[in-house]
Homo-oligomer: A and B are copies of this chain.
Amino acid sequence: MSNNARFAEIAALAGDPGRASMLNGLMDGRALTASELAQLAGITAQTASSHLTRMTEAGLLAVEKQGRHRYHRLASPAVAQMIESIMRLAAPDVTVKPVRTGPRDAALRAGRTCYDHLAGHLGVAITDALIDGGHLDLGLDAGEVTDSGLALFDRAGIDIEAMTAKRGRILCRPCLDWSERRPHLAGAIGAALCSHCFDNGWIRRIEGTRAVSVTPNGQRQLRETFGVSLA
């Protein structure tokens, strides 16, 4: 198959409403069963099964068999980044059209996971706090954790240096937030910070969605450790 045909195939797979729902549903990095994904997309199990097979064959999804369940997840961070880049274009421009937001949407805007890191108001607030505190240096295309930030993460028990092959520079990736329209922290460091928040019970996933809520303890810890003030 030609390069262009493969390109079109991949894009076309993401271009069906049902499959798009499933892909977005998997953007939290979890693995979901076929039934869950079918319900999420509002289609029957048969239809979902066919979609999932095709996406798996195309290398977009990876599947793990566990008893009579089949857990599907995004095949790689590269897939997540593709979805992210499409979502960025698809996001309604909030400045032009202040869309009516339901409670569901409001929760997503307040805080959510973006594959392996935090996004929404929460993600941006943490990122801002790190920048304000001189712990993070974020440009348009890239970012770097400063020495001060290194020490901060170390104190918080997040071992960044172990995860990077590089000795000196701790570089990271900014990710443009579709709801806030501002960059938040992504990449390996964003992922480490996110799991740290989950592991310590600072945030909790809102059942069945990508949205997360900050626990009272998390709110305090985030303020004390990182200087985050959640409006």
* Binary contact track A160-203/B, C-beta < 8 Å → 1, others 0: 00001010111111001000000000111000000000000000
A7 to B60, CA, bound (A): 16
Bound: A209/B175 CA distance, A: 31
Is A24 located at the chain interface by the 8 A CB criterion?
A: yes
Chain B hits for A3, CB < 8 A: 90-92
Q: A10: which B residues are within 8 A, CB to CB?
A: 15, 86, 89-90
Among A17, A86, A170: residue with most chain B CB under 10 A: A86
Q: Find the B residue at minimum CB distance from A170.
A: B139
Cβ–Cβ contact A15 & B11, under 8 A? yes
- Least distance between A153 CB and chain B CB atoms (Å): 16
Contacts of A159 in B (CB 8 A): none
CB pair A166 B139 closer than 8 Å: yes
Contact flag A144-B144 (CB < 8 Å), given A59-B89, A82-B86: yes
**CA of A79 to CA of B172, assembled, Å:** 22
Chain B CB within 10 Å, residue with most, of A16, A90, A138, A169: A90
Q: Which residue of B lies closest to A166 (CB)?
A: B139
| Cβ of A140 under 8 Å from chain B | yes
Q: List 20 A-B contacts (CB under 8 A).
A: A3-B92, A4-B20, A4-B21, A4-B24, A7-B86, A8-B20, A10-B86, A11-B11, A11-B12, A12-B12, A79-B89, A81-B85, A82-B88, A139-B169, A140-B164, A140-B188, A141-B187, A142-B142, A142-B143, A143-B171
* Residues in A lying within 8 Å of B, measured CB to CB: 3-17, 19-21, 24, 59-60, 78-79, 81-82, 84-92, 137-144, 164, 166, 168-173, 176, 186-188
| Given contact pairs A8-B15, A12-B15, A142-B172, a sample of 13 additional A-B residue pairs in the complex whose CB atoms are under 8 Å apart | A3-B90, A3-B91, A4-B21, A9-B90, A11-B14, A12-B14, A14-B15, A78-B176, A82-B89, A137-B169, A139-B169, A142-B142, A142-B144
